[in-house]
Amino acid sequence: MAVLLKRLLQSARHPAASGRPTGRREASLGTDPGAVVRVRFAPSPTGFLHLGGLRTALYNYIFAKKHQGSFILRLEDTDQTRLVPGAVENIEDMLEWAGIPPDESPRRGGPVGPYQQSQRLELYARATEALLESGAAYPCFCSPQRLELLKKEALRNHQTPRYDNRCRNLSQGQVAQKLAQGPKPAIRFRLEGEAPAFQDLVYGWNRHEVANVEGDPVILKSDGFPTYHLACVVDDHHMGISHVLRGSEWLVSTSKHLLLYQALGWQPPRFAHLPLLLNRDGSKLSKRQGDIFLEHFAAADFLPDALLDIITNCGSGFAENQMGRTLPELITQFDLTRVTCHSALLDLEKLPEFNRLLEGPDTSFTQDMLNSKLKKVSEGLEGTKHSTVMRVLRVALSGQLQGPPVAEMMVSLGMREVRERIQKVLSS
């Protein structure tokens, strides 16, 4: 394999301390005697509940019950364009079927409701106003067309797409003039100063210098709906969440969220990022896979306890994995300090399917078509996770460990440019 690719792969496995874990923690979970434990499962109703979501919900549930705390269901339905009819009801129905009902939810109510983000817009507006008044946020008038051009230009230059902070330094007069002229602006958060280090309860000490690798993020869209970054911070604060147990894909964003907590003057919760539940081929579970939805198992008369047992045996968090445990036994045996994270390396020279794809005609592929082809590549690599395949291809195409999905980059670059970049890496 090419020397450069080996170096890139080594950097993927042993990343710099400024952007990856700097040590696994030995400390306690922050559950002091007498402290109230409140955790939340916060899915988006853009699809029905599947096994990956159930696993996250289960770990939140058993952590809460182990510490005599509360398990909250909050629905993050701010992306109104992607809502699936019936998904809101399905999520709570399936949690109840699985035997892990929330203590507070849209259906059950509770002291800090409402429990759907689309009904909490006033809270996000107030937080945004406070950030604007302090100078921690500013209005952005950039059009979607301009933002798309920025992304494509960055990809052409082997850079991670990022907003160039063009509207950050507009004068009050310029802002007033633009407000009078055109559509309502989005609101962006200023990424300034050093990101705080934090001790993740699974991945240990982390610090991600987000201001160095990305532009100021949108926190409130022009339609008045928040993005995930603002909404989760505001809701976790007002709902008194003590611990956030969520998928590891959000680990990099945590430094950004901590900066928001800092700007708003709020105390953040403790964080624990859970490794994702993957298919046997290493790919991430997808809402397009019909046989992973809980309603499929319910209709097939699966016993909920058996399903929960299977999910926990696929992961970590217990002294030992054994079949036949009941939910009370899972609660008793669970230990968050035993949850582990895993990584693996991929050799690009073992990708014959990918090479054949590169050698094909320079056809215009859609993102869905490429995702399907890339999945077949992963399936041909026994013992290699699909996520690892995508991570290495991202490095080969952009030189970056983080960025947009590989298929999206390939569509933006065009197959000819993709071929040239891959061949350049392999021949170096």
By annotation, the residues acting in catalysis are: 287
**For residue 53, which phi and psi values (nearest 5 degrees)?**
-65, -40
Residue 81: what residue type? T
Which candidate, 355, 358, 390, places its Cα nearest to that of 371?
390
Calculate the alpha carbon distances from 153 to 160, 307, 394, 404 in Å: 10, 47, 17, 13
User: Burial, 240: exposed, middle or buried (Cβ in 10 Å; 0-12, 13-18, 19+)?
Assistant: middle
CB 230 within 8 A of CB 124: yes
Cβ burial 355-390 (10 Å sphere, 16+ → b, else e): bebbeeeeeebeeeebbebbbebbbebeebbbbbbb
Coil, strand, or helix at residue 199?
A: strand
Query: In angstroms, rounded to a whole number, what is the distance separating the alpha carbons of residues 57 and 308?
Result: 11
CB 296 within 8 A of CB 90: no
User: Burial, 5: exposed, middle or buried (Cβ in 10 Å; 0-12, 13-18, 19+)?
Assistant: buried
Residue in the block written with tokens 């991945």: 203
Query: In angstroms, rounded to a whole number, what is the distance separating the alpha carbons of residues 99 and 327?
Result: 8
